Amino acid sequence: MNRFQPFKRLVEEYCGLEFNGIAEQRLHKAVSKISAALGLSLAEYFAKVEKNPVELTELVNQLTVNETYFYREPAQIMLFVQTFLPRLQKLVNNRPIRVLSVGCSSGEEPYSLAIAIQETWGKAMLQQVQIDGGDLDENVLVKARAGIYSPFSFRALDEGLRKKYFQATRNGYQINADIRQAVQFFPFNLKAERYPAEDNYYDVVFFRNVSIYFNLATRKDIQHKLQKMMQPNAILLLGSSETLGNDFGILELVEEQGQYYFVQGAELLQQAGTPQLSHDKPHVLENTVISAPVNVLSPAKLSVADTAKAAPQLQPVLTHEAAVQKIKELLHDSSQYQQALIKLEKIIVQEPDNAPAILMKGWILLNQKEFSQAQKLIEQALEFRPWCLDALIALGLCHKWQSEFDMAVQSFKKACYTNPESWLAHYHLADTLKQLNDKVAAQQTFQTVRRILSNNTSAHSGSEWLPLELPVKDVLFLAERHLLNFKKQPEHSVSGA
Ligand SMILES: C[S@@+](CC[C@H](N)C(=O)[O-])C[C@H]1O[C@@H](n2cnc3c(N)ncnc32)[C@H](O)[C@@H]1O
């Protein structure tokens, strides 16, 4: 038996996180690192973790993926602020509107909600909303409470808002006290038997970019428990790329203003009308997606099963393979990403092992800088097709764009191995080796690129699914130029590719 299997089982039982395929390496690394630091064998360390909840929590804190940033998926945030809040205000009868961000990580998501409410409706409205943030990982909760962030957290936030709501400190930018006080953080394990809130409590639950780490049974179980905690008219939002994969018929799936969400009861939907919020300074955010007028509401109920049933009458039947081929065309244009994601999601729900669809979804998320989700999807595609050139290159790029050059080299090397005549794979490998200052290996690899392309400028790159092509002339020109530069420079390193 795999020596790490008992850890895998224990972690899954405790918090639902699954480590399969390539992701299992993360578990191996964390377990090996902690047991070595404690001077224990794996068996001794397991006995400690199994008995002691503090040890288990510390291990789990090392395993969570906490990637997040301010104003992630702003269209959903604005739908909540501009559309849901006015409707909810009519329903709640003077009590606060209660919002939960679960899997809130270091707080960027709940703080974004607080900022967006204040920006749109003013301070008085923010005081009428109770915002809670819960997460399993206690380390991120400490960071959330401190509210100090590095520039990486601001990658999608308008600079004007950054300046308005954050103060520079020695350790980073700290969020203003009034916004910080608007959010309460507490430990929350979605796998726990009981949740730390009464039944029928929350009006809106943000559960975004968390479900991808759980298996189907866990996701269903979590949705049942979230439903119990939600008000009769509450709304549940998942990340746009994971919503359709969580449509279990437990809550109703609704599409509005191009966004999908789940709703508990129909009453809220019938409340559409002109917003009647008392606001001291109504205005909308600069540089955010502005939603359609609030009084235009015709929620189209969309269950994947229904869509599949209705499809033959509406349009010619496309096999999944043909549909995926069509979606490929959308990947060339980032303005088509949302449409492509919805189509891909429908295919994946019906055919969870459709590797090209999973890979394409990963590619879109990678281009949206959703690195951890993208990596997970690309690795999942590789589990079904371990030697897929596009997936190996995409994984390499995912590592490279996060400055994980050693890992990028590993993926590009595999890509070269699987397709030795792919100039594209060799070019990415060479370029990454150059970044690592591995001059000899980079030189050899650029020579391979030159050999392939100077024999045949129309040589196929080997790419099949993703828009990975680079202009051959430019690649050849760059390879020649780097080779010339290497000749001029003294050698730094001697390792081979
Ligand atoms: C990728 S972050 C998502 C952050 C934020 N919701 C967003 O969309 O930007 C996923 C978070 O889920 C948390 N998480 C994982 N398993 C959990 C569980 N069983 N209960 C609560 N939170 C969990 C992780 O600790 C991590 O902070």
| pLDDT value for 265 | 66
Radius of gyration of the chain, Cα coordinates, nearest whole angstrom: 25
Q: Which tens digits make up the pLDDT trace of 107-148?
A: 999 999 999 999 999 999 999 999 999 999 999 999 999 999
Selected residue with higher pLDDT from 469 and 271: 469
Domains located in the chain, CATH noted? 5-63 (no CATH), 74-270 (3.40.50.150), 318-386 (1.25.40.10), 388-497 (1.25.40.10)
Question: Which atom, in ligand 1's list, is nearest to the CA of 68?
Answer: 9
Residue 266 pLDDT grade (very low, low, confident, very high; cuts 50, 70, 90): low
Average pLDDT for residues 270-291, to the nearest whole number? 34
136 alpha carbon to ligand 1 midpoint, in Å? 7
Single out the residue of 154, 96, 165 nearest to residue 126, CA to CA: 96
Does the pLDDT value for residue 317 go beyond 90? no
Q: What residue's CA is closest to ligand 1, atom 9? A: 68
Does the pLDDT value for residue 497 go beyond 70? no
Mutate to test the pocket of ligand 1, among 56, 60, 64 (most ligand atoms within 8 A of CB): 64
Rounded distance, CA 114 to CA 109, Å? 9
Q: What tokens does 120 get?
A: 């749109």
Residue 307 pLDDT grade (very low, low, confident, very high; cuts 50, 70, 90): very low
Angle of CA points 189, 192, 198, to nearest 5°: 90
Q: What tokens does 110 get?
A: 């709940």
Does the pLDDT value for residue 418 go beyond 90? no
| Contact status, residue 253 vs residue 302, Cβ threshold 8 Å | yes
Question: Percent of the chain having pLDDT more than 70?
Answer: 87
Q: What is the 3-state secondary structure (H, E, C) of the chain?
A: CCCCHHHHHHHHHHHCCCCCHHHHHHHHHHHHHHHHHHCCCHHHHHHHHHHCHHHHHHHHHHHCCCCCCCCCCHHHHHHHHHHHHHHHHHHHCCCCEEEEEECCCCCHHHHHHHHHHHHHHCHHHHHCEEEEEEECCHHHHHHHHHCEECHHHHCCCCHHHHHHHEEEECCEEEECHHHHCCEEEEECCCCCCCCCCCCCCEEEEECCCCHHHCCHHHHHHHHHHHHHHEEEEEEEECCCCCCHHHCCCCCEEEEECCEEEEECCCHHHHCCCCCCCCCCCCCCCCCCCCCCCCCCCCCEECCHHHHHHHHHHHCCCCCHHHHHHHHHHHCCCHHHHHHHHHHHHHHHHHCCCCHHHHHHHHHHHHHCCCHHHHHHHHHHHHHHCCCCHHHHHHHHHHHHCCCCHHHHHHHHHHHHHHCCCCHHHHHHHHHHHHHCCCHHHHHHHHHHHHHHHHHCCCCCCCCCCCCCCCCHHHHHHHHHHHHHHHHHCCCCCCCCC
Letter for the amino acid at 434? Answer: K
Does the pLDDT value for residue 316 go beyond 50? no
Mutate to test the pocket of ligand 1, among 27, 132, 136 (most ligand atoms within 8 A of CB): 136
Residue 306 pLDDT grade (very low, low, confident, very high; cuts 50, 70, 90): very low
| Contact status, residue 112 vs residue 77, Cβ threshold 8 Å | yes
Q: Please state which of the ranges 235-244, 300-309, 333-342, 374-383 shows the lowest mean pLDDT.
A: 300-309
| pLDDT value for 1 | 60
Question: Which atom, in ligand 1's list, is nearest to the CA of 67?
Answer: 1
Backbone angles phi, psi at 166, to 5 degrees: -135, 145
Handedness of CA 166, 284, 254, 277 (dihedral sign): positive
Q: What residue's CA is closest to ligand 1, atom 5? A: 104
Question: Which atom, in ligand 1's list, is nearest to the CA of 188?
Answer: 21
| Contact status, residue 402 vs residue 370, Cβ threshold 8 Å | no
Q: Which tens digits make up the pLDDT trace of 442-458?
A: 999 999 999 999 888 88
209 alpha carbon to ligand 1 midpoint, in Å? 7
Single out the residue of 160, 161, 165 nearest to residue 177, CA to CA: 165
Q: Which tens digits make up the pLDDT trace of 41-74?
A: 999 999 999 999 999 999 999 999 999 999 999 9
Question: Which atom, in ligand 1's list, is nearest to the CA of 106?
Answer: 27
Rounded distance, CA 229 to CA 224, Å? 9
Q: Which tens digits make up the pLDDT trace of 191-220?
A: 999 999 999 999 999 999 999 899 999 999
| pLDDT value for 269 | 55
Does the pLDDT value for residue 489 go beyond 70? yes
The CA distances from residue 312 to 153, 156, 301, 318, 348, in Å, are 45, 40, 18, 9, 19
28 alpha carbon to ligand 1 midpoint, in Å? 21
Q: What tokens does 324 get?
A: 């995926």
Residue 308 pLDDT grade (very low, low, confident, very high; cuts 50, 70, 90): very low
67 alpha carbon to ligand 1 midpoint, in Å? 8
From its phi and psi, is residue 83 left (phi > 0), alpha (psi between -120 and 50) or beta?
A: alpha
Single out the residue of 211, 297, 220 nearest to residue 251, CA to CA: 220
Tally Cβ neighbours within 10 Å of residue 243. 23
Rounded distance, CA 258 to CA 342, Å? 10
Question: Which atom, in ligand 1's list, is nearest to the CA of 108?
Answer: 9
Angle, helices 337-350 vs 355-367, to 10°: value is 150
Average pLDDT for residues 455-473, to the nearest whole number? 89
| Contact status, residue 338 vs residue 325, Cβ threshold 8 Å | no
Angle of CA points 492, 494, 495, to nearest 5°: 125
Letter for the amino acid at 295? Answer: N
Q: What is the CB < 6 Å shell around ligand 1?
A: 15-17, 64-68, 72, 103-105, 109, 135-137, 140, 188-191, 208-210, 213, 372
Of the chain, the end-to-end C-alpha distance in Å amounts to: 34
Single out the residue of 336, 350, 347, 365 nearest to residue 258, CA to CA: 336
Residue 267 pLDDT grade (very low, low, confident, very high; cuts 50, 70, 90): low
Q: Which tens digits make up the pLDDT trace of 244-253?
A: 889 999 999 9
| Contact status, residue 206 vs residue 79, Cβ threshold 8 Å | no
Mutate to test the pocket of ligand 1, among 14, 69, 210 (most ligand atoms within 8 A of CB): 210
Quote the mean pLDDT of the chain: 86
Q: What residue's CA is closest to ligand 1, atom 26? A: 66
Question: Which atom, in ligand 1's list, is nearest to the CA of 372?
Answer: 1
Q: Which tens digits make up the pLDDT trace of 357-375?
A: 999 999 999 998 889 899 9
Q: What tokens does 199 get?
A: 């039944």
Q: What residue's CA is closest to ligand 1, atom 14? A: 103
11 alpha carbon to ligand 1 midpoint, in Å? 15
Rounded distance, CA 387 to CA 381, Å? 10
Q: Which tens digits make up the pLDDT trace of 432-442?
A: 999 999 999 99
Does the global pTM surpass 0.75? no
Question: Percent of the chain having pLDDT more than 90?
Answer: 69
